Structure 1
């Protein structure tokens, strides 16, 4: 009886989060009939949850589309790749590991550790885009959730002086690949709860040794405080990202004053 209760809780939460994924896919027209979607697996909580929810979504939706899971091996020492293979053994999807020695490049280009995160992100993105294009994928799905999108908005606002976020759907400049974030309506707290109920093991977050970006950590702490003391505020900010009134801002390129 004790074991059955967590299973029921996990199933109930999975159905709820699948509904949120379905809402995001429909609202932003992320995936449709005949598409080939590459799910990016990192071994972290978000990508593991993304794989489960996309499998659940495809099982119930009307459109027929293909999916495959790809893990990019950065070359970081000590990464427990075996846990990914164990996890994917229970997922009925093609799984592929691509290898690029990003770690070697980071050590050469950033010996002092500065700007490592920005370069790493560019190299990862380039490797994933190239693999998707070479293997006929039309879409690339990432595990970013609502909190990630709000964090990015605030980071750009606080430190970049621009109102720029992380879009739920983005077509690359070449126009040959669409990047989607199906968990746009999913809160990070629900991801953590799902992972706990599922009992999944995750890969360590700091194998590179760089740790979390100080600015992003500061914004995360702000959001955590809001979620604790002002429930609903993060969701309101996220809603505001899709409810913009250009005439009430100050950008002359958006509104002819």
Structure 2
């Protein structure tokens, strides 16, 4: 990848002109760009025929939080570098939450010359009417929001909506499903909606939340708090988040290992009979060698394990 552009570059996007010039921040910026490129490539987020002449259109969803700001900045820079042949349109859904600062995102988009759409839909009243007090609004709110974003994407001629979920979001969802849902599942970096006409993409799937937070702070994004609805305290997801943060603090690097594990499953060593034919598994005649016990871990895996658990 070419060196990070300086703010003095004439054609640099307005959003990137005030980026810190420190070596540390440039390394952080490069890492986020590299990880997004890898996720886009690994999960085939771009159609094979995509080119500068034939570009798909993505609806980039912005809530005003650190993750979605970072997502937009990374995609804009990749596009500017000629590495992402996609037309981008930023979208904010104003859900009429009390105290929502409706002027912040429109000003941000206009100041930075970003193509955008602002849609106001009062889902807050619907959610508060349907959900009893002191219960979390998140599930119903999320479903309503996703339905509206699908409609906007169709109206704008987009093939995908793009979300700012990162590595920790994916791990938190995995453990939420494990602890409370009784299944092994998480947020996929790429999926198709139930109607089969739109993709949902998460290009920050490989990116650490701590990197995103440092990037957003360095870029001085005008962050909008995520607790306006008053339904965030005591969520099970927050408990899982604290658990993961504690593990990472105790053994730095553990979350990275766990995230890599989500891409290296062995159905023959789990309990899902729909993924592996345990019923017809039998010894081969004459003792012909077949895949059975877990393979010996490679030297790198053993070294990482020793490092992670040395203090335990």
- Correspondence 1:248 to 2:269: yes
- Correspondence 1:138 to 2:152: no
Which residue in 2 is equivalent to 1:13?
A: 28
CA RMSD of aligned residues (A): 1.7
Can you give the 5+ residue segments of structure 1 that lack an aligned partner in the other structure?
A: none
**Which residues in structure 2 correspond to 1:65-144 (within 5 Å)?**
65-144=86-165
- Correspondence 1:230 to 2:251: yes
Structure 1 residue 16, shift from structure 2 partner: 1.8
Query: Which of the two has greater helix per residue?
Result: 1
**Which residues in structure 2 correspond to 1:156-171 (within 5 Å)?**
156-171=177-192
Which residue in 2 is equivalent to 1:221?
A: 242
Decide whether aligned partners of structure 1 residues 212 and 67 sit closer, same or farther in structure 2, where only a CA change above 3 A counts: farther
Q: Is the 8 A contact 1:10 1:198 kept in 2?
A: no
Decide whether aligned partners of structure 1 residues 242 and 61 sit closer, same or farther in structure 2, where only a CA change above 3 A counts: farther
Q: TM-score with structure 2 length normalisation? A: 0.78
Which residue in 2 is equivalent to 1:180?
A: 201
Q: Is the 8 A contact 1:168 1:180 kept in 2?
A: yes
Decide whether aligned partners of structure 1 residues 213 and 180 sit closer, same or farther in structure 2, where only a CA change above 3 A counts: farther
Q: Which gives a bigger RCO, structure 1 or 2 (Cα 8 Å, sep 6+)? A: 1
Q: Which runs of 4+ in 1 moved over 4 A?
A: none
Q: TM-score with structure 1 length normalisation? A: 0.94
Decide whether aligned partners of structure 1 residues 5 and 85 sit closer, same or farther in structure 2, where only a CA change above 3 A counts: closer
Structure 1 residue 213, shift from structure 2 partner: 5.1
Correspondence for 1:27 among 42, 61, 64: 42
Correspondence for 2:223 among 202, 211, 228: 202
- Alignment deviations for residues 9-28 of structure 1 (CA, whole Å, 9 cap, x no partner): 43332222111111110111
Cα distance in 1 for residues equivalent to 2:169 and 2:123: 23
Cα distance in 2 for residues equivalent to 1:5 and 1:54: 15
Cα distance in 2 for residues equivalent to 1:229 and 1:179: 34
Q: For this pair of structures, how many residues does the alignment match? A: 254
Between stretches 57-66 and 121-130, larger displacement belongs to 57-66
Q: Is the 8 A contact 2:78 2:84 kept in 1?
A: no
Structure 1 residue 91, shift from structure 2 partner: 3.2
- Which is greater in Rg? 2
Q: Is the 8 A contact 1:7 1:197 kept in 2?
A: no
Q: Is the 8 A contact 2:19 2:219 kept in 1?
A: no
Can you give the 5+ residue segments of structure 2 that lack an aligned partner in the other structure?
A: 1-17, 279-312
Cα distance in 1 for residues equivalent to 2:130 and 2:252: 43
